[in-house]
A and B are shown apart, each in its own frame.
Chain A
Amino acid sequence: MTPLPLRPPLPQRAALQRGLLLALWALVLLRSSTDGRLDLLLRAAFHPLVALAGLLLLLLALLQLRLGLVDAAAAAERASRRQGLLLLVTVAFTLAVVVLPPAPSFAELAGQRPRDDTAQEDLSFVLPPAQRSLTDWVRLLRSQPDPDLFAGDPVRISGFVLPMAGEPPQIARLLVRCCLADAAPVGLPVRWPGPPPPPDQWLRLEGRMAVTSGADGRQLVVLPSRIELIARPARPLEP
């Protein structure tokens, strides 16, 4: 009669612990893919990659769990103290990421970053002024810096309020090429009719472009005729 292999109790089985931890990482990626937070963190091109990695990790986790229960050699593997520590720290971090979604302050982030100064050569100039986004306007002004060309043009843009040192706040957006870590702000000066809204507040502005003379010479400024407070859009980052 062959002796049965000694198996540690279920909680001490290393393969089961591995399966659980892999499942937690899968949960982080899948939850991020479904709760909309990726729109706040990463450029859209990376979203399918994150979801795919989450599904793959889930599959690997299920296979590990199955091995921990079925395969004799895998089921006999006992978890070490080091694995116990790995378990604790991973559980703490993955659950924290799942439970505490990101809520960045765009004004705070933008305040620490230099402005994006790339000019897009393939900008579509056929867009009527009222359909240009804030980013379109900034790029257009960079490639055609003469403010008089656009004076009086209608403006309909949205963005967040970005405080500026020594001047009135601007309306701004964040450009992201990979993830929030590389976000760079772009903004337009606004002549606020009253006290400016608080930093980070999202607004939709309607009005006209006007030319003002300031310390930096003549520049375009948004003259809003209508200011609407809005919630942060689902996809607040621009490519």
Chain B
Amino acid sequence: MNPARLATAWALFQGLLIEALPFLLIGVLISAAARWFAPGGQWLRQLPSHPVLGPLSGAALGFALPACECGNVPVARQMLVGGAPLGAALGFLFAAPVLNPIVLASTWAAFPNQPWLLLARPLGAVLVAVGLALLLRLVPEAELLQADLLAERRLALPLSEVSLLERRGGVLGGGGLGGGALTAAPGRPRRPSPAELFRHGGNEFLQLALLLVLGCLLAALVQTFVPRSWLLAVGGAPTLSILALMLLALVVSVCSSVDAFLALSFAAQVTPGALLAFLLLGPVIDLKLVGLLGLLLRPRGLLLTIAGASLLVLLIGQWINLWRL
């Protein structure tokens, strides 16, 4: 094996990792702050559970909590743990990496002469997020979310929102539970002690950092051993260019706050639909993110996310090509 190529992969790995770690830390700090200031996450349960309004409200939270796609995984996890409606948490998870001031500003800075892109990127991100949230609603929560996340989430949910089969024997056999008891939210949550906050935040960061390491390693190896020019060679063909740029977004794994600048370097070589596809898919899923998302979603949910996001982005890209070409 070519040692120069291996050394380059190692450098790429370090570049991706060191760039992403601060953003991951920001996400964990936001998540810890939410746990401290809103213990029990009562406000999270006030978010709408409507199939479309839920994801829209989650997406809108991106403006309040600016985190890129690595940082928003711990925040979305905290939303789910706090009892936020699934659609709202998924809407945040998938749309917030684009719908936040930093990412919109960087897109504007990179493409000041393409106002359609400034509108199409956030709109497309919302469409993808709502579409994915609708798709993932079809899977029962117990089969969608990871077991430990589900266990924490059930502590925050009112009993009426936990299905009978999912309740533990103590509740099922308790008898005498009236309707009032079923709709009652858990008792007033207490603010976590600093020791609890540090334990939870520390474990979360360490676990996510390790998953990030694996994702960056994978992304660096694929980037080094698959020449990028192969992907860009099909730049002019409408459908192929979209598929190629989607694949590139999966492989490159750069943070959503700077991916517009990367897109700028090949914008002239590809179709407008492909350019938008690159800017939409990367923030939802890439090699670096697979491990992190695996902390929230079971493999079935992860596969559905990848397939659903790819299909939606392909359709949006095709539509843009019909409009702009």
Contact = CB atoms under 8 A, between A and B. Distances in A.
Nearest to B252: A181
Contacts of B268: 117-118
B265 A116 contact: yes
Interface string B17-42: 11101100110010000000000000
Contacts of B267: 118
A180 B22 contact: no
A112 B4 CA distance: 13
Contacts of B7: 102-105
Please report whether the interface of chain B is mostly helix, strand, loop or mixed according to DSSP: helix
Given A117-B268, A178-B255, A182-B254, A90 B228 contact: no
Given A50-B22, A112-B228, A177 B14 contact: no
Interface size class of B (residues with CB under 8 A): 35 or more
A118 B265 contact: yes
B167 interface: no
B202 interface: yes
B265 A102 contact: no
Contact of A74 (B17, B195, B209, B252): B195
Nearest to A112: B227
Contacts of B203: 18
B183 interface: no
A15 B213 CA distance: 22
A200 B107 CA distance: 33
A114 B262 CA distance: 12
Contact of A42 (B19, B25, B198, B223): B19
B132 to A, nearest CB: 25
A110 B82 CA distance: 47
Contacts of B25: 53, 56-57
Contacts of B224: 112
Interface stretch (A24-32, A204-212, A218-226): A24-32
B210 A22 contact: no
B207 interface: yes
A113 interface: yes
Interface string A87-130: 00110010001001011110111011110111000000000000
Please report whether the interface of chain A is mostly helix, strand, loop or mixed according to DSSP: helix
A77 interface: yes
B5 interface: yes
B19 A46 contact: yes
B195 to A, nearest CB: 4
Nearest to A29: B21
A200 B7 CA distance: 13
B150 interface: no
A125 B253 CA distance: 36
A49 B19 CA distance: 9
A188 interface: no
A15 B199 contact: yes
A180 B12 contact: yes
A191 B195 CA distance: 67
Given A18-B206, A178-B261, A77 B14 contact: no
Contacts of A25: 21, 205-206, 209
Contacts of A32: 14, 18
A64 interface: yes
B229 interface: yes
Given A102-B11, A178-B258, A41 B265 contact: no
B210 A86 contact: yes
Interface in A1-57: 14-15, 18-19, 21-22, 25, 28-29, 32, 37-38, 40-42, 46, 49-50, 52-53, 56-57
Given A18-B203, A64-B202, A112-B224, A41 B18 contact: yes
Given A56-B25, A57-B25, A103-B11, A117 B195 contact: no
Interface centre among A19, A93, A102 (most CB of B within 10 A): A102
Contact of B199 (A77, A89, A111, A182): A77
B219 interface: yes
Contact of B5 (A52, A108, A117): A108
A127 B188 CA distance: 68
Interface in B253-277: 253-255, 258-259, 261-262, 264-269
B268 to A, nearest CB: 6
B14 to A, nearest CB: 5
A63 B227 contact: no
A60 B26 CA distance: 13
20 contacts: A15-B198, A15-B199, A21-B206, A28-B18, A42-B18, A50-B18, A60-B202, A86-B207, A97-B14, A112-B223, A112-B229, A114-B265, A117-B269, A177-B265, A178-B261, A181-B15, A181-B254, A182-B252, A182-B265, A184-B265
